[in-house]
Amino acid sequence: MKDKTFDSKVTSVVNTILAAVILFSFSALSLSKEPQKKIFNELDELFEKARLDIKAPSLVFGVVTDEGLVHSRGFGSRTLPDGTAPDNQTAFRIASMTKMMTALLVLDLQDQGLLYLDAPAETYAKALASLTYPTTDSRKITVRDLLNHTSGFVTDNPWADRQMARTNEELNAFLAKAEPFAYAPGEHAEYSNLGYVVLGKIIENVSGRSFAEQLQNRLLKPLKMNNTTLDLNTLTLAQRAGAYNLVDGKYLQEPVLESGSFDPLGGIWTNVEDYGKFVAWMLASWPAHDGPERTLIPRRVVRSVTDGVSLLGASKGSGMVSENDCTMSSAYSMGLGIKKHCDAGLVLTHGGGFPGFGSYVVMMPDKGLGVFSFANETYANAFGPVWDAARKLINSDLGKSPHQYTADVRMQKAYEGVIEAYASSDIQTANLTFADNFFLDRSQERWARQLKEIKSDAGECKVGDLKPVSRLSGEFEWLCAKARVAGYLLQSPLNPANIQMLHLRVILRDGNGRDLVLDNDFH
């Protein structure tokens, strides 16, 4: 398909598209609460403006909980110049957001014992055996390297995007003479589309099925993603968004890249309704819990995307979106950006960009919330708007986490003992058992003295429930006569468990409404 320039003048075409008010609005679940309506209205305004800012002919977005799609809306014209609005069935190409699905198929094979992530990748893709490594002391590329972009392959945007239609034979011939190394394996992280193409070959070789068949059988069909595909030919023009590139004020129609051996890097076409099912399934995989599986790929496989990634906690500071946002710890693992956000906890992200398309997703498993957006303009930058939307969701009523651990019986008993200790101002009279470190860290005499001090500062308290942080730790906050008391309780790893740490603090409020923590914070 050749590039086609629409003959309309810049002012008439661009102004018509950017001022378009053709839109759709729907809600997949019935949510009638006013606070939810308010946040959804704010998101509608945010993404409507975002489409104008990124100058995309059309844009759609979706908000998801771990139960499913709860809100979405679309703006603009999915094809030019007819002005037809996109809806929740309009397919967009999500490009590199495909990678997380490719990675899940690899992790699924590992879970079945059919491959090992730390084995040399050439074990499962013989074409790699002919590679010439950059140094004599280079180690072999592992499957994990390919997943995490540590293979040493040179970054290949946008070259790889234009290779989508290569056949398997062409891919094998290419690999036989390739010299892809920018670094030795493991020496440096560098984003490699080629690495994910090789992972597609590994999936085929190990499973005995084509990448498309494995994707369909293990993921799409169980999730009932019936309108998600790698094959453009299964979609009519009426079912998908057109692909466009704004050049010198004119929209050029991009040739749609055909399907082929490079599909595992970014070949998926999907719509809002289907992708919402995928995001909901991802979110529902946290935390570990009992119950039936939604797909053939177990929840433990989904959670393994973070294996080996130990992110430190994040704190408030200069962030990626605004000066009031968090500074986040970040890493790349298994087809996803893995982040630790000071308010949202674990965050999973990825973007996608192709000629004619741009997309981005933020998933917050600890909050049970996700948001994503698709647009049909070349490498459309959906990153900023989706992060803006995520921040709004974090602070909304919808953003209150549905994911909580259940307090262990021993934890609940220990918490009741802490309440008793506060009431009596005597930790020794409470129904508590302690680890051997407890009174070595702070003597019984100091505990007795400081419990009296903290009760003097706060007064009598109305105790609240223990909020489990994990199965062996929890937080609590009490509303007292003169202040609030905040606490943290941590059990030991022993059996039976006993208290290894108790942390308390008194929080007063000054005349200006600010919290002041008294200097009797102790543990």
Nearest-angstrom CA–CA distance, 5 and 390 = 36
Nearest-angstrom CA–CA distance, 382 and 46 = 12
pLDDT tens-digit map of 414-431 = 999 999 999 988 887 767
The per-residue pLDDT for 387 is 95
Q: Are 372 and 62 in contact (CB under 8 A)?
A: yes
The per-residue pLDDT for 320 is 45
The per-residue pLDDT for 260 is 92
pLDDT tens-digit map of 309-345 = 766 665 554 344 455 556 777 889 999 999 988 888 8
Instruction: Kindly report the pTM of this predicted structure.
Output: 0.83
Nearest-angstrom CA–CA distance, 116 and 128 = 16
Q: Strands 23-26 and 68-76: what pairing?
A: antiparallel
Looking at domain 409-517, its CATH architecture is: Roll (3.10)
Residue 118: pLDDT over 80 = yes
How many helices (DSSP H) and strands (DSSP E) are in the chain?
Answer: 14, 21
The per-residue pLDDT for 212 is 97
The per-residue pLDDT for 1 is 42
Q: Are 50 and 59 in contact (CB under 8 A)?
A: yes
Banded pLDDT at 33 (limits 50, 70, 90): low
pLDDT tens-digit map of 217-254 = 999 999 999 999 999 999 988 899 999 999 999 999 99
Q: What is the mean pLDDT of the chain?
A: 87
How is residue 289 annotated by DSSP?
A: -
Mean of the pLDDT values across residues 276-289?
95
Mean of the pLDDT values across residues 164-184?
90
The per-residue pLDDT for 35 is 74
Nearest-angstrom CA–CA distance, 517 and 395 = 24
Mean of the pLDDT values across residues 405-411?
80
What is the full DSSP assignment across 438-451? Answer: HHHHS-HHHHHHHH
Query: Which range has the worst mean pLDDT, 128-137, 355-364, 398-407, 456-465?
Result: 398-407
Which are the contacts of 238, defined by CB distance < 8 A and separation ≥ 6?
none
The per-residue pLDDT for 425 is 87
pLDDT tens-digit map of 500-520 = 999 999 998 766 656 666 655
Nearest-angstrom CA–CA distance, 94 and 102 = 13
Nearest-angstrom CA–CA distance, 164 and 170 = 11
Residue 148: pLDDT over 90 = yes
Banded pLDDT at 199 (limits 50, 70, 90): very high
Stronger pLDDT, 357 or 343, i.e. the higher one: 357
Q: How large a percentage of the chain has pLDDT more than 70?
A: 86
Banded pLDDT at 402 (limits 50, 70, 90): low
Task: Please report, for residues 319, 367, 393, the alpha-carbon distance to residue 315 in angstroms, rounded to integers and kept in the order given.
Answer: 10, 17, 19
Rounded to the nearest angstrom, the gap between the alpha carbon of residue 123 and the centroid of all alpha carbons in its chain is: 31
Torsion of CA 294, 212, 214, 167, to 10 degrees: -160
The per-residue pLDDT for 305 is 95
Residue 145: pLDDT over 90 = yes
